Chains A and B, each alone.
Chain A
Amino acid sequence: MGEVPPLTELYERYQSRDFAFFIVYVREAHPGENFPHHTSFEQKLAHADKLRTLEKVHKIPILIDDMQGTTHKAYGLLPNMIYLIDRQGTVVYKSDWSDAEETDGMCASLLRLDEMKARQVPIIRQGISERLHWIPMDPAMRERIYRRSGEKAIQDYLNAKGHLPYATDDERKKSGET
């Protein structure tokens, strides 16, 4: 999942201003010897609790998806997604990879909307924007996460992608990834 400290910072900034933050614990993206795939809800609960201690999730509540991944599927089935839903229940922001800076901007945008409504500023219309973003590679961080799961997770990634999960750009080029 995304880095917890920057998300916790956002939680501190916005939770008192009518925002509710949740982490939704879903299937293990990279099951390995230490954290195998879920076979029971009890095990999934235990993993979610382990996530809390490993990633030091001390403030943001963790919700646990069901065994079929019903909510995970409804929102797109990716491992590090983030969604912002306004108080009318409308999706106002979604990203396939959590980015605290971008999320901060969107939370601030909703705050501005709340202020505009409070001041009865007329709104011409609801606009929409789209953007691409770039996910940075930190080999040391990636290695730590994958080693946490176990050698099997590293081997599975190598089998699927043709390079190690913490390969540098040069190493990926050598393996022929386009």
Chain B
Amino acid sequence: MDLYNHDTYGLCEVGAPDFRSVAQVGTKAPEFTLIGLDGKPVSLKNFIGKKHVLLEFGSIT
């Protein structure tokens, strides 16, 4: 069973870390390379030394 892509809201905390224990303030942000809706990849490392980055996580529901 795919625990990440759960089909029931009640399973959302399975495997979840303590929010305050990951990607802590004052530490290096976890690197990522993600595809945009335009199909182009975006990497955090490309902004280092250039821009501040704001990430908002979300879904439709």
Contact = CB atoms under 8 A, between A and B. Distances in A.
A123 to B, nearest CB: 15
Contacts of A76: 16-17, 19, 22-23
B15 to A, nearest CB: 8
A63 B27 contact: no
Contacts of A27: 4-6, 59
Contacts of B8: 31, 156
A71 B23 CA distance: 11
A172 interface: no
Contacts of B49: 87-88
A116 B47 CA distance: 21
A169 B22 CA distance: 31
Given A52-B37, A63-B36, A89-B48, A80 B57 contact: yes
Contact-residue size bin, chain A (C-beta under 8 Å from the other chain): 35 or more
Interface in B24-54: 24-30, 32, 34-38, 42, 44-45, 47-54
Contacts of B37: 45, 48-49, 52, 61-62, 64
B38 to A, nearest CB: 8
A103 B9 contact: no
Contacts, number: 224
Nearest to A94: B25
Contacts of A25: 58-59
Question: Interface of chain A, helix or strand or loop or mixed?
Answer: mixed
A62 B38 CA distance: 9
Contacts of B61: 28-32, 35, 145-146, 148-149, 153
B9 A47 contact: no
A36 B7 contact: yes
A48 B36 CA distance: 10
A63 B42 contact: yes
Contacts of B22: 74-76
17 contacts: A24-B56, A24-B57, A51-B59, A61-B38, A61-B42, A67-B5, A68-B4, A69-B5, A72-B57, A76-B17, A76-B22, A84-B52, A84-B53, A85-B54, A85-B55, A98-B56, A107-B52
